[in-house]
Structure 1
Amino acid sequence: MALTSRSPVLSTEFRLILLLSRLVLDDAQASAAWKLCNEVNDWEAVRHTAMDRFILPVVYRHLRHLEPSSLPAEQLVLIKHQVMALYRHDLNVIANLAEIHEQLLLPLQVPYVTFKGPSLAVCYYDEPAMRFSRDIDILVPRERMAELLARALAAGYTPLVPQDLGNDPVSLAFVARYQKVITLLSPRDIVIEFHSQIDNIGTVYDTRALIARAEPARVGSAEVSVLPTDELFVYICWHHTKHFWSHLHWLVDLDAIQRHPSFDRQKAYACAERHGLTATVEVCVKMAELLGSPEFEPHDNQDERLNALLKFSLEAMQGDVLFEHHLASKKATPDYAFHWQTDRRHRLSWKLLGWLRRFRPSYAEYRVRPLPSGWQWLYCFLRPLLACRRRLINHDAD
């Protein structure tokens, strides 16, 4: 189903937050931001929106430099206290990443790459704690997942998804085989997502190839494996477009990476071409430049692709989770928001493989009827029976 929308209305408060969504302001941006500060009627809304969109530390940094007279002192104090709490959280996440490397991955010699979140903050932000990270994402080969999970559970990590994951070889082998993301909670109370692939059907990214391209980066006392700059830049353009850029710290990420000495635009576009993501990267770069313009207005552009991305992203940036889910239901495929990002071959692949995914068993079904590894192919036939059983149980409960 094609996405259609109208140009969203932007409040003064949101315009200010949008303009502050970058690591550094040039003179023109700083001047425009200072003028917008004097037009703000609701600083409480500025603070809440910046917090909800994971950008409060960056906003606080800019406001301290701008020193707008219209900003009430009590609001600045509230922002400062919230930012200090976020700093403590983000430093905890960064420390946890180093521990995962040293306590889990290194002893097992598991090849991996960590992406987004704390590794991005450490590599591209001058103050890493400024970049809010909800969780830690780590990509590992599927065949090494079970032993990694076993070591993590033995070390005090607790399962979140699936919540009732058992620490036995058959259960761990099952989730490693059939579930592409397993989520644990660390002893530091940080959410850890272990991925065996980072797209839905494996047609966009190859896990082995990504891990093979990993580079070392210093995180605390550890030297963790991260994506090269060009690969990370292309990935975040693709991934955040899937979510319509709903979190504003993603715009800061884009700015921070492009400012970094390791960023090479030609290498980034060459990487995008390898993944078939050239159009996605081109339009994301244009959108970021437009949103950073002091004269930005959400008018239609000649580039219809840019027009579509801008409209839906601006709505998602101001919407809630339910609105984002509404948009997600209208995407071209789960891996692409718009038809112009992909081709007919990928869409046909998704229709076929997406249909086959219906036969993939869930861990909940495994727990109801555990089967040894050699017999788990039977779940393809048991799934309909187990689904009927669940419906009957729910019907009796009603």
Structure 2
Amino acid sequence: MKTLSKPNNQNQAINPRPEIELLLSCVRPHIDDAISDRITALVKENIDWEYLIKTAHGHGLISLLYTRLNSICLHAIPQSALNQLRSMFMAIAGRNLFLTGELVKLLNLFKEQGIVAVPYKGPVLANLIYGNVALRQFCDLDIIVQAQDIFAVKKLLLAQGYRPKVEMTHAREIAYLEAKTEHTYDFIHDDKGILIEIHWRIAPKYITPIEPKDLWQDLEPFSLAGTTVSYLPLEDWLPILCVHGSRHMWARLSWLCDIATLVHKHPDLNWEKVLKQASTFGCRRILFLGLFLAHDLFGVVLPAEIWQQVKAEPLVSAIAPQVYSQLFDQVKTSDKFLGRTLYHIQVRERLQDKILYIQSFLYWMMTGEKKY
């Protein structure tokens, strides 16, 4: 038995504007006849197309919005809006293909030097989830390596014309790599306009303890642009994507759309492994929150036993309105007094993780360095 996939149109915490309903409907992982009819009806309303396009772009959903509108109700869209969407879609597709080529080149370069590197999000996730690199917006490249390979990676990137985003002495580099508050070493190619984030952790330690050594035994081959790269199984990616979205308080709908589409397109997920990984990483509540939001916003169908566990987690439904405020309200949860801090404390199930986050918040309060 599965849960109903009907969207929660009665949720009063979700922005009632027709533009928001249209956007949510267009980016659902599965569009049946009823949703298609609703999209067609919505575009005939007094839609503020400027607001819709601006909102979709801010949430990283232009590509999905354009392709769905183009296939469902092309002739009902004002020509000026259609032209703008098409132009933005083509620009995103071109940029994504350019970044994909650069990623493949660098991964091959790392492989030649014996460095195991895993692309994080970006082109591979777009192919894995959507089957098309053009359908997921991304503006930079993220690559995961082990901490001991950071300096070898830096040397290779410098030889390719990249420079560190922040120049550091070697002593400061060592301290930076050992800091619990850091997780990426960023490089910029000025001529190509590319930012690369080299991850030796998935996120700062006060967000999650996940490190490459926890994942390397699960690596699988994946075909990208004619090249075989190392990648993680979906059972690892699902909790990792939830951790990433939660770290940023789910500020972009595209992150939830990724989760919803992953679950919808892969009904053979090994949910036992997903739950085991989430428990190991201390992000079971974050995983359940991501699944709850994906179901609530996009009608994604979950196995009955998983949905029962999600509903049985009492804080999930209590935290969800904070996320909707972050997504849709003019005054967001993070704008409110201690809103971000309280969210991050609530969403953690382990006491040690709550304490670590509070420590990082107090460090920021005392030093003024925004590390939390």
- Which residue of structure 2 lines up, in the alignment, with residue 307 of structure 1? 317
Alignment-mate amino acid for residue 195 of structure 2? V
For residue 277 of structure 1, what is the aligned residue in structure 2? 283
Q: Alpha-carbon deviation of 1:10?
A: 2.5
For 1:189 and 1:111, locate their aligned partners in 2 and report how far apart those are by CA, in whole Å: 25
Spell out the pairing of 1:245-256 with structure 2 (5 A cutoff).
245-256=250-261
- Residue 123 (structure 1) aligned to one of 128, 140, 143: 128
State the partner residue of 2:198.
Answer: 194
AA aligned opposite 2:210: Y
Q: Could you tell me how far 1:280 is from its partner in structure 2?
A: 2.2
Q: Contact 1:93–1:136 at 8 Å: present in 2 too?
A: yes
Summarize the Cα distance change of 1:18–1:308 in structure 2 as closer, same or farther, 3 Å threshold.
Answer: farther
- Contact 1:146/1:176 (CA < 8 Å) preserved in 2? no
1:185 paired residue number: 188
Q: Deviations over 1:90-136 (max 9, x none)?
A: 11121121111012x11221223222122201222122211111221
Q: 1:180 is aligned with what amino acid? A: H
Distance apart, 1:176 and its partner CA: 4.0
Tell me, yes or no, if the aligned pair for 1:244 and 1:309 is still in contact at 8 Å: no
Matched residue SS, 1:341:
coil
TM-score (structure 2 length as normaliser): 0.80
Report the counterpart of residue 381 of structure 1 in structure 2. Answer: none
Report Cα offsets for 1:50-71 as digits up to 9, x if no partner: 1121101100111012216542
How many Å separate the matches in 2 of 1:355 and 1:291? Answer: 34
Pairs within 5 Å for 1:94-173: 94-103=100-109, 105-160=110-165, 162=166, 164-165=167-168, 173=174
| 1:307 alignment partner AA | S
Task: Give the deviation of 1:171 after TM superposition.
Answer: 6.4
User: How far, CA to CA, are the matches of 2:142 and 2:249 in structure 1?
Assistant: 20
Aligned to 2:243: 238
Output the amino acid matched with 1:183: D
CA distance in 1, matches of 2:337, 2:108: 37
User: Any gaps of 5 or more consecutive residues in structure 1?
Assistant: 1-5, 295-300, 363-398
Q: What letter corresponds to residue 155 of structure 1 in structure 2?
A: Q
Shift in Å, 1:249? 1.6
The higher radius of gyration belongs to 1
Question: Which whole-Å deviations, capped at 9, do the CAs of 1:143-180 have from their partners, x for residues lacking one?
Answer: 221121122112211221x1x346xx666555544553
Q: Tell me the amino acid that sits aligned with residue 278 of structure 1.
A: R
User: What is aligned with 1:382?
Assistant: none
Looking at structure 1, the residues matched to 71 and 216 of structure 2 have their Cα atoms a distance apart, in angstroms, of 40
Give the Cα–Cα distance (whole angstroms) in 2 for the partners of residues 237 and 12 of structure 1. Answer: 27
Report how far residue 357 of structure 1 moved.
9.7
Q: Are 1:317 and 2:321 matched, yes or no?
A: no
CA deviation after TM superposition for structure 1 residue 324, in Å: 6.9
Partner Cα separation in structure 2 for residue 337 and residue 64 of structure 1: 39
The 1:49–1:28 alpha-carbon spacing in structure 2 relative to 1, beyond 3 Å, is same
Q: Which residue of 1 aligns with 2:306?
A: none
* Equivalent position to 2:335, from 326, 333, 344: 326
Does the 8 Å CA contact 2:345/2:354 hold for their aligned counterparts? no
Mark the CA change 1:150 to 1:323 in structure 2 (over 3 Å): closer, same or farther: farther
Tell me if the contact between 1:92 and 1:188 (Cα under 8 Å) persists in the aligned partners.
no
> Matched residues in 2 for 1:175 and 1:282: separation?
32
Letter in 2 for 1:312: Q
Give the TM-score, by structure 1 length: 0.75
* Distance change (3 Å), C-alpha of 1:226 and 1:170: same
Pair 1:132–1:211, CA change in 2 (3 A) = same
The answer to whether the 8 A contact 1:101-1:222 is kept is no
- Structure 2, unmatched stretches of 5+, are 1-11, 301-310
Cα pair 1:37 1:70 within 8 Å, conserved: yes
Partner Cα separation in structure 1 for residue 244 and residue 336 of structure 2: 15
Q: 1:328 to 1:206 in 2, by over 3 A?
A: farther
**CA separation of 1:175 and 1:275: change in aligned 2, threshold 3 A:** closer
Q: Structure 1 29/264 Cα, relative in aligned 2: closer, same or farther at 3 Å?
A: farther
- SS of match in other structure, 1:137: strand
How far did 1:266 drift?
A: 3.5
* Farther off after superposition, 249-258 or 6-15: 6-15
1:26-41 equivalence runs, <5 A: 26-41=32-47
